[in-house]
Structure 1
Amino acid sequence: MKYKTSGVCSRSIDFDVVDNKVTNVHFEGGCSGNTQGVAALIEGMDIDEAIKRMSGIKCGFRPTSCPDQLANALTQYKEQA
């Protein structure tokens, strides 16, 4: 799935979900080290656990963050499935 982000430096997030596990996460733009770290940490994680861990994280004074946007994307994926 490709998700267009909002309110963060990254422009979009691509990911797959296989057997309820998050895989192949790739952020377009954003802070490269941070987004690669987030992607590596949730690789193979249960989608519900990933949403629980990342939802609500803020970036500085912004009301959202790249991890929060990924949680939003995963939530949207679940709602469409």
Structure 2
Amino acid sequence: MMQVFKTSGVCAREIKFKINDENIIEEVEFIGGCSGNQSAIAALAEGQTVEYVADKLAGIECRNGTSCPDQLSKALKDLV
């Protein structure tokens, strides 16, 4: 089942993602925003552990003190 995270302060409106029982990210989809960058973020995150991706992306800034990668990190940290 896809989880949905409502973003704040970025172009993307929400992030949908699926995590398996072993805490591996199976799928990531950004709704709204720059599709090229978000496709790249999703491709790099898929197949990685929640903890690894959340730690790597935390604190990356674009505007408003956050970014789409940072928002994905926040979404994943809400799970752990």
AA in 2 matched with 1:2: V
More helix by share: 1
Deviation track 1:10-56 (CA, whole Å, cap 9, x = no partner) reads 00000011111112100000110000000000111011100110000
Which residue number in structure 1 is paired with residue 12 of structure 2?
A: 10
Percent identity (aligned): 45
Question: In the alignment, which residue of structure 1 is the partner of 2:74?
Answer: 72
TM-score (norm 1): 0.91
1:30 matched to which residue of 2?
33
- Return the offset for 1:66: 0.2
Query: Any gaps of 5 or more consecutive residues in structure 1?
Result: none
For structure 2, the residue ranges without an aligned partner over 5 or more in a row are: none
Count of residue pairs the alignment pairs up: 77
The CA distance in 2 between the partners of 1:40 and 1:73, in whole Å, is: 17
Q: Which residue identity lines up with residue 72 of structure 1 in the other structure?
A: K
Relative to the length of structure 2, the TM-score reads 0.92
